[in-house]
């Protein structure tokens, strides 16, 4: 994960605002393109962390131009990755917005911090999609299947769960 954060900082302007539950005031950290903190200031905010990414690929002119040329395709890929993170991040509230220029911030995706991956699926894709899911139940292999593949049933059960 640290490697990804370092890469993220090299591609754009990153600001992290955070406040621990035990802190009276939060902190805002601004990073340079090498991942070094260039500014650390007290910042009033509720408990939690906000990561702000601006000027994506601004330090790589060729990549930035390519990104702009294929913006719809690149944006769709980014949203897919974001959806995956939102679904597996049980217990963490995720809210992502997109702002074009000085325009209004538009929500991209948000989850409520549910401890359940199933509820996160509902937050990301909607309740209708959630209700259409088919439950997946993993069953142990039968004795004949274990025998066919040369497995000990007790080993298969141990490795399965």
Owning domain of residue 157: 135-161
C-alpha–C-alpha distance, residues 84 and 124, integer Å: 9
Q: What is the per-residue pLDDT across 49-100, written as a single tens digit (0 to 9) for each? A: 998 888 877 778 888 898 889 999 989 998 999 999 999 999 999 989 988 8
Are the C-beta atoms of residues 14 and 52 closer than 8 Å to each other?
yes
Cα–Cα separations (whole angstroms), residue 8 to 44, 139, 151: 25, 41, 46
Same domain? 119 vs 56: yes
Per-residue model confidence as pLDDT tens digits over 11-20: 678 899 999 9
- The structural domain count of the chain equals 2
Neighbours of 127 (CB within 10 A): 11
Q: How sure is the predictor about 3, in pLDDT bands with cuts at 50, 70 and 90?
A: very low
Of the pLDDT bands very low, low, confident and very high (cuts 50, 70, 90), residue 2 is very low
The 3-state DSSP class for residue 43 equals: strand
pLDDT digits (tens, 9 = 90+) for 132-148: 999 888 888 888 888 89
Shared domain for 130 and 120, answered yes or no, is yes
Instruction: Indicate if 79 and 114 belong to the same structural domain.
Output: yes
Do residues 15 and 43 both lie within one domain?
yes
């Amino acid at each position: 994960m640290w490697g990804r954060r370092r890469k993220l900082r090299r591609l754009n302007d990153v600001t992290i605002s955070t406040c621990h539950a035990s802190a009276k005031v939060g902190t805002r950290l601004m990073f340079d393109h090498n991942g070094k903190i260039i500014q650390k200031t007290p910042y009033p905010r509720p408990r939690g962390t906000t990561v702000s990414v601006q000027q994506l690929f601004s330090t790589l002119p060729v990549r930035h131009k390519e990104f702009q040329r294929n913006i719809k395709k690149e944006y769709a890929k980014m949203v897919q990755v974001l959806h995956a993170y939102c679904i597996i991040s049980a217990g963490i509230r995720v809210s992502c917005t997109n702002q074009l220029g000085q325009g209004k911030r538009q929500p991209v995706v948000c989850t409520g911090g549910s401890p359940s991956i199933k509820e996160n699926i509902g937050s990301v894709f909607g309740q209708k999609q959630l209700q259409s899911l088919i439950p997946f139940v993993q069953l142990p292999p039968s004795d004949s299947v274990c025998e066919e593949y040369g497995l000990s049933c007790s080993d298969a059960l141990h490795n399965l769960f």
